[in-house]
Structure 1
Amino acid sequence: MADIIQLLPDNIANQIAAGEVIQRPASAVKELLENAVDAGATNIQLIVNDAGKSLVQVIDNGKGMSETDARMSFERHATSKIKAIDDLFHIKTMGFRGEALASIAAVAQVELKTRKPEAELGTYIEIENSVVVKQEPCAAPAGTSICMKNVFFNVPARRNFLKSNPSELRHIVDEFIRVALSFPAIFFSLTSNGQQVFHLEAGSLKQRVIQILGNQYAAKLVNVKEETDYMNIYGFVGKPDTARKTRGEQYFFVNNRFIRSAYLNHAVMTAFDQMIAKDSYPLYVLFIDLDPSQIDINVHPTKQEIKFEDEKIIYAFVQAAVKHALAQFSIAPSLDFSLNAEIQQLDAVSKPFTNDQQESVTASSSLFKTFTQKHQAHFIEPTEKSELKHWKDFFTGKEQEKTAQFTYDKATVQHTGQHEMLPVSTSKKIIPGAHLLQLHNTYIIAPTQSGFLLVHQQLAHERILYDRFSLATHGKKIATQQSLFPVTVELPAQDAALLHDLLPDLLSLGYLVEPFGNNAFVIQGTPADVNHGNEKHTIELLVEQFKHFSSDIKFSKREKLVRCMARQQAIKAGQSLSQNEMETVVEELFLSNTANVTPTGSPTYIEFKEDYLDRMFSR
């Protein structure tokens, strides 16, 4: 019987391996930028065309490569960073596994020009499908220029899975920002299709953060800086008033490497406890420096997920550092003129928080003591895991369904399932011309022949708008009313790329938005049935909601947009409605084929039948 197991040819093996490292043009951007940083460059330029599909070029003024090194750099697992196994546990550079250039060469056409400062001539290498097509001496500036052209040209199936240009450009901008934030002392620029998107002069970390996030944050950043024998934490968190309803700008770096960590994110969230709303997310750019032997950065191909030797200590440090920074920020006394005059005179309000008082408060915390004293890093006292016991609750994304409760005197009867969802056909049971009642400016009570309906006005309106917008995106466009005074909105680069992608779908929903310059847009028209005057906030909030709406791949871009718009424009709980408005909500709700639930599955109303009401009163 013939043997059936055989080794894969090199070109196929390389393409399979490349899939781990180069998933999209942004993956190559990350690897090439990190290589430029490792080369000691002080000036790094990124140039992309067609969102990186036709060209990704990185030009740096680093130390360059010799002719032999330039050729060797494209071999798999060829690296200058690791010579012995111990080196793997003391990694201080960005790239180290020697897979980046080999992976790029396996799925693209690559051109490399490089010259060491002391050499007279540089080296030019052209590679296609892992094969060296040309290698020759050339004139070149000191440093390295590497071009990746026509990514996935030899793997058409992979190329077909790339998203639209605005979507891919957004990923490139994200990777660019992460590297640029890590190294504020280096000049970075990003040019897309000949238009400069970023021009980031070398400077301090705060200057770099403001350059990227926007000047509006200049006075809204709180400095975080704590140094211990075990680890250092530094960076910035946004003041509580910068918190957003959706996940905003949140960056964690360990030894200057961007990482994703829901665990450490939770540490920051708990530090903001009681300072921001529970459904809000703070802004932060935080750097952790610690001994490389305390972490494993090789657990994931993109190196964005790492393992800590003792993550509980890291969690406690991050939480304490952010709490301390926020405490420092809020020690200045302020007067609230809406307070009663007698309250204004209380010591807690009128007298400043002295240094002695501050020291006595911080010193009383055992966590703070171990955090600041030398050689006490591993002696944080256990407090029944008080900092950690609720962290898993943070990941329960969906709100628990609230059961209706009715209280009579001291007895509470819990209503947990005896209600029935109304099928659409029973909507005729609503008594025609009956007077509707609004309860707590949130619920509409509508009498029926056999009881009453309790309609949640916001969820019901969300269902109505979702159906209307879905219809609009599938052909029946919503009419647009031209604005007499068009409004201009300016967005960060990554948000601008996203909005570019949404413009056609927004037009079907009645919003005429046109590009205006680099990252600016002009709102020329809005839906005819929407109140005017708040267009700029509407677009900004829409982009923010869309960015973080759902990572679930089952939702298309259009579906996400429709859900965001329905949620955003629905009348809110707490809003007073007239009799006519309540009637309109109830009537339009029951025109839907799925009137009983919102797009996310929450009930829009509950029916209370007469026989059940009788049983509640023991009748």
Structure 2
Amino acid sequence: MADVIQLLPDSIANQIAAGEVVQRPASVVKELLENSIDAGARNITLIVREGGKSLIQVIDDGIGMSETDARLCFERHATSKIRTADDLFNIRTMGFRGEALASIAAVAEVELKTRRTIDEVGTEVNISASELVSQQPIACQAGTQISIKNLFFNVPARRKFLKSDSVELKHIISEFQRVSLAYPEVAFTLNHNGNDLYKLPPSGLKQRIVGLFGKNINQHLIDISTQTSIVKLGGYIGKPECAKKSAGEQFFFVNGRFMKNPFLHKAIMNAYDRLLPSGAYPSYFIYFDIDPQSIDVNIHPTKTEIKFEDERMIWQILHAAVRESLGKFSVTPSIDFDTPGFDIPYLPKNAPITFPSIDIDPTYNPFDEQPKGAPTHKSGGNKQSVTGWEQLFGDMPEEPNPVQTRIETFESEGMKATTSDTSNRFYQLKGKYILTNVKSGLMIIDQKRAHERILYEQYMAGMQSNTNIKQKELFPKTIELLPADYELLISNADELAKFGMEISNLNHNTISVNSLPASSSVTDPAKLIENLLAIMNENHALPFSDAKHRIALSMAKASAIGYGKVLSNFEMQEIVDKLFACSEPNITPDGKKIIDILELDEIERRLK
């Protein structure tokens, strides 16, 4: 029987390694930027085309490479940082595995130009799918310029699963932000399709945060700093009022390396306990400086997870530091027992009770000249008769009985019932659910999800017949966005217009909102854009193959009534009627349950 075990060729082994290291264009960006940082670059330029699918180019002014190193860096396990196994536990540099460039070269066309300052000429290396195409001397500037072209050109199955340009660009921007936040003293530039999205000069940490996330964040940053024998901690956290509905501005860095850590994230969320609304995420930029021997950064292929020797102690230190900063800047409520209170007048036990009195002049006429020193009268225990007042109301209709026109409400255990003259069919619970009795028991309807289903079908039907109604803005709202959000909206502007939202591109990451969908419950353009972006960023992989379905669902979610909105009986009736006129009233377009029925038998069983 023939042997079945054999050694893989290097080209196949590199492609397998690429599956772990190179997942999408953003993975390439991360590796190349980290290499530039390790090379001591002070100016780094990232150029991207079509979301990184056709070109990723990084230009730096680092130390460069010799002719031999330029060729050897594409070999597997080639590294400049590791000499012995002990070095793995004393790492302060970024790239050290020695397989990133080999993996990238296995699934792309790579062009490398590099020169050291001590060399008169540089070296150019061209590699395609792990095969060396050419190597020759070349005149170039000091540093390194590397271009990755046609990523996954030889692995069609991998390229097919790449997302749209806007989604891939969003991931690239995330990697760019992580590296540039870790090294604010380095100048960074990000250019996409010929437009500079970021141009960041060397600066301090706070200026770098403002440069990446906009001027508005500047006034919401709170300094955090503490130093212990275990870890040195610093950075900034955001005030609770600037918390956002979607995550995206949460960053941990350990010794200059970005890290994901849900356990430490929970420490910060606990520190913000009772300061944030439900579902909101605070911004934070936390930097840990810790002994490299007490951490392990080599537990994940992308090196975004780090294992701490004493993670629980780090949790306690971080939690205490965040609470201290929130209290220091008077963000958390506090009680000051030294503050004098207001005086409460002393009332003797048997003192007579008298009605308070005010000075009035019943003969005062604002159209007559009021003589000085006009007499005033006191109203209180002594009542004075004023005649002629009936003439003021002679032409007014008789006021109806207030009991007949009053809208009666019933509140008990968070249940609100709104009663009109004609019906009493619906109740609202906690500003979230619509309750109504049916033959089999009690029907419970999620009001927000119901409205999402109604709007979704309205948008889809209106788009097919080109009848979506829009409300023109009298004064178009100008909104400045983050680069990733700006690119996402502009790339979907044509689809959004079909649903009634018209936006204009003013360049420089700025848009103008010219009209909104008439059916939207959100009338503030800035608020609607914020809701829409949060949903589009969270649901970029919605289960729809057609873009119009994704946009329709995003618009419906952003425009639907929110939880906590008190509805009248008429509004509840309208939602229920429109819901059951939909083709799928039971579930939302993304598959969430809208209606449930609490059976009468279950109610009776609970009351036994």
Q: CA deviation at 1:613?
A: 7.4
- Identify the residue that residue 519 of structure 2 maps to in structure 1: 529
- Identify the residue that residue 347 of structure 1 maps to in structure 2: 338
The unaligned stretches of length 5 or more in structure 2 are: 343-409, 414-421
SS in 2 for 1:276: coil
Residues 477, 510 of structure 1: 8 Å contact kept? no
TM alignment of 1:2-13, pairs within 5 A: 2-13=2-13
Residues 191, 197 of structure 1: 8 Å contact kept? yes
Within 2, Cα distance between the matches of 1:315 and 1:114? Answer: 44
Q: Identify the match of residue 529 of structure 2 among 535, 539, 556.
A: 539
Within 1, Cα distance between the matches of 2:557 and 2:229? Answer: 49
TM alignment of 1:257-336, pairs within 5 A: 257-330=257-330
Q: Identify the match of residue 493 of structure 1 among 483, 499, 514.
A: 483
Residues 44, 187 of structure 1: 8 Å contact kept? yes
- Identify the residue that residue 44 of structure 1 maps to in structure 2: 44
TM alignment of 1:444-459, pairs within 5 A: 444=434, 446=436, 453=443, 455-459=445-449
Taking only aligned residues, the RMSD between alpha carbons, in angstroms, comes to 3.2
Which of structures 1 and 2 has the bigger CA Rg? 2
Q: CA deviation at 1:530?
A: 3.6
Residues 297, 306 of structure 1: 8 Å contact kept? yes
**Residue 584 (structure 1) aligned with residue 561 (structure 2):** no
Residues 5 and 191 of structure 1: CA distance in aligned 2, closer, same or farther (over 3 Å): same
TM alignment of 1:227-246, pairs within 5 A: 227-246=227-246
SS in 1 for 2:585: coil
Within 2, Cα distance between the matches of 1:568 and 1:455? Answer: 19
Higher mean Cα deviation, 50-59 or 179-188? Answer: 50-59
Q: Deviations over 1:333-359 (max 9, x none)?
A: 99xxxxxxxx9x9635889xxxxxxxx
Residues 248, 282 of structure 1: 8 Å contact kept? no
Amino acid aligned to 2:485: D
Q: Deviations over 1:120-148 (max 9, x none)?
A: 11111111121222212121111111111
Residues 58, 145 of structure 2: 8 Å contact kept? yes
Q: Identify the match of residue 515 of structure 1 among 492, 505, 511.
A: 505
Within 1, Cα distance between the matches of 2:587 and 2:447? Answer: 12
SS in 1 for 2:82: coil
Amino acid aligned to 2:505: P
Residues 574 and 233 of structure 1: CA distance in aligned 2, closer, same or farther (over 3 Å): closer
Within 2, Cα distance between the matches of 1:228 and 1:184? Answer: 24
Within 1, Cα distance between the matches of 2:293 and 2:462? Answer: 56
Q: Deviations over 1:454-495 (max 9, x none)?
A: 545434323322443455577766344444432222211122
Q: CA deviation at 1:508?
A: 3.5
Residues 472 and 229 of structure 1: CA distance in aligned 2, closer, same or farther (over 3 Å): farther
- Identify the residue that residue 253 of structure 2 maps to in structure 1: 253
The unaligned stretches of length 5 or more in structure 1 are: 335-342, 352-405, 413-432
SS in 2 for 1:190: strand
Higher mean Cα deviation, 534-543 or 446-455? Answer: 446-455
Within 2, Cα distance between the matches of 1:581 and 1:497? Answer: 37
Residues 12 and 457 of structure 1: CA distance in aligned 2, closer, same or farther (over 3 Å): closer
TM alignment of 1:121-520, pairs within 5 A: 121-330=121-330, 347-348=338-339, 434-439=423-428, 444=434, 446=436, 453=443, 455-469=445-459, 471=461, 478-520=468-510
- Identify the residue that residue 361 of structure 1 maps to in structure 2: none
Within 2, Cα distance between the matches of 1:323 and 1:229? Answer: 20
Within 2, Cα distance between the matches of 1:350 and 1:140? Answer: 75
Amino acid aligned to 1:592: C
Within 2, Cα distance between the matches of 1:350 and 1:168? Answer: 59
Residues 567 and 55 of structure 1: CA distance in aligned 2, closer, same or farther (over 3 Å): closer
Within 1, Cα distance between the matches of 2:520 and 2:446? Answer: 21
Residues 475 and 109 of structure 1: CA distance in aligned 2, closer, same or farther (over 3 Å): farther
- Identify the residue that residue 115 of structure 1 maps to in structure 2: 115
Residues 63, 143 of structure 1: 8 Å contact kept? yes
Q: CA deviation at 1:295?
A: 1.4
- Identify the residue that residue 31 of structure 2 maps to in structure 1: 31
Within 2, Cα distance between the matches of 1:243 and 1:185? Answer: 27
Q: Deviations over 1:230-252 (max 9, x none)?
A: 21111100011111223241111
Q: CA deviation at 1:17?
A: 1.4
Q: Deviations over 1:493-552 (max 9, x none)?
A: 122233234434423322222332031222233223346851122012210233235878
Higher mean Cα deviation, 469-478 or 487-496? Answer: 469-478
Within 2, Cα distance between the matches of 1:264 and 1:545? Answer: 25
Within 2, Cα distance between the matches of 1:69 and 1:12? Answer: 23
- Identify the residue that residue 384 of structure 2 maps to in structure 1: none
Q: Deviations over 1:63-121 (max 9, x none)?
A: 11111111111111111100111111111100001111111211111111111112111
Amino acid aligned to 1:216: N
Residues 441, 597 of structure 2: 8 Å contact kept? no
Amino acid aligned to 2:4: I
SS in 2 for 1:46: strand
Residues 470 and 142 of structure 1: CA distance in aligned 2, closer, same or farther (over 3 Å): same
Residues 553 and 144 of structure 1: CA distance in aligned 2, closer, same or farther (over 3 Å): farther
Residues 555 and 210 of structure 1: CA distance in aligned 2, closer, same or farther (over 3 Å): farther
Residues 84 and 458 of structure 1: CA distance in aligned 2, closer, same or farther (over 3 Å): closer
Residues 428, 435 of structure 2: 8 Å contact kept? yes
Residues 436, 444 of structure 1: 8 Å contact kept? no
SS in 1 for 2:26: helix
Within 1, Cα distance between the matches of 2:602 and 2:49? Answer: 66
Amino acid aligned to 1:591: A
Residues 32 and 435 of structure 1: CA distance in aligned 2, closer, same or farther (over 3 Å): same
- Identify the residue that residue 595 of structure 2 maps to in structure 1: 604
**Residue 63 (structure 1) aligned with residue 56 (structure 2):** no
Q: CA deviation at 1:210?
A: 0.8
SS in 2 for 1:347: coil
Q: How many residues align?
A: 531
- What's the % identity of the aligned pairs? 46
Residues 474 and 251 of structure 1: CA distance in aligned 2, closer, same or farther (over 3 Å): farther
Amino acid aligned to 2:517: P
Amino acid aligned to 1:83: R
Within 1, Cα distance between the matches of 2:440 and 2:252? Answer: 57
Within 1, Cα distance between the matches of 2:494 and 2:221? Answer: 36
Residues 616 and 98 of structure 1: CA distance in aligned 2, closer, same or farther (over 3 Å): closer
**Residue 77 (structure 1) aligned with residue 68 (structure 2):** no
Residues 346 and 316 of structure 1: CA distance in aligned 2, closer, same or farther (over 3 Å): closer
- TM-score of the aligned structures, taking structure 1 as reference length: 0.78
Q: CA deviation at 1:452?
A: 6.3
Residues 45, 58 of structure 1: 8 Å contact kept? yes
Residues 111, 125 of structure 1: 8 Å contact kept? yes
Residues 217 and 349 of structure 1: CA distance in aligned 2, closer, same or farther (over 3 Å): farther
Higher mean Cα deviation, 309-318 or 497-506? Answer: 497-506
Within 2, Cα distance between the matches of 1:452 and 1:18? Answer: 56
Residues 225, 321 of structure 1: 8 Å contact kept? yes
- Identify the residue that residue 595 of structure 1 maps to in structure 2: 585
- TM-score of the aligned structures, taking structure 2 as reference length: 0.80
Higher mean Cα deviation, 547-556 or 2-11? Answer: 547-556
Higher mean Cα deviation, 317-326 or 181-190? Answer: 317-326
Amino acid aligned to 1:48: V
Q: CA deviation at 1:257?
A: 0.8
SS in 2 for 1:253: strand
